[in-house]
Amino acid sequence: DAGVIQSPRHEVTEMGQEVTLRCKPISGHNSLFWYRQTMMRGLELLIYFNNNVPIDDSGMPEDRFSAKMPNASFSTLKIQPSEPRDSAVYFCASSLEFGQGDYEQYFGPGTRLTVT
């Protein structure tokens, strides 16, 4: 398996533009997580899905952020409009099951977003 795939790996955009980050989880994994990592705030969980259904989006910073999982093999995280403070590395992770947290999360390589 190729692991969790994220695209693009790097994104540079101007303030106010729409940004869409993409993730393909590991085949057979039922849970998908979106994280944001910055030096100031560390690793933050934004939202996670189980069986394509959003379970907890309490970490989504504001309405400018939205995430979808139309099927088991694809998820997007959209920022509209983007702001400089959104600059961070965004990780997607997947795991076999949701529930007791007994399953390890497999992280993608991340998307480094820079908003100027």
Partner 1 sequence: SQQGEEDPQALSIQEGENATMNCSYKTSINNLQWYRQNSGRGLVHLILIRSNEREKHSGRLRVTLDTSKKSSSLLITASRAADTASYFCATYNTNAGKSTFGDGTTLTVKP
Question: Residue numbers of the site for partner 1 (CB under 8 A)?
Answer: 4, 35, 42-43, 45, 48, 55-56, 91, 93, 100-102, 104-110
CA dihedral 11, 12, 15, 16 (to 10 degrees): -40
Locate the DSSP E strands across the chain.
5-7, 10-13, 19-24, 31-38, 42-50, 53-56, 65-71, 74-79, 88-95, 106-107, 111-115
Nearer to partner 1, 65 or 91 (CB): 91
Give 68-80 as a DSSP string: EEEETTEEEEEES
Give me the least distance between CB of 9 and partner 1, in Å please.
10
Give me the least distance between CB of 81 and partner 1, in Å please.
27
Nearer to partner 1, 42 or 70 (CB): 42
Nearer to partner 1, 15 or 43 (CB): 43
Give me the least distance between CB of 26 and partner 1, in Å please.
12
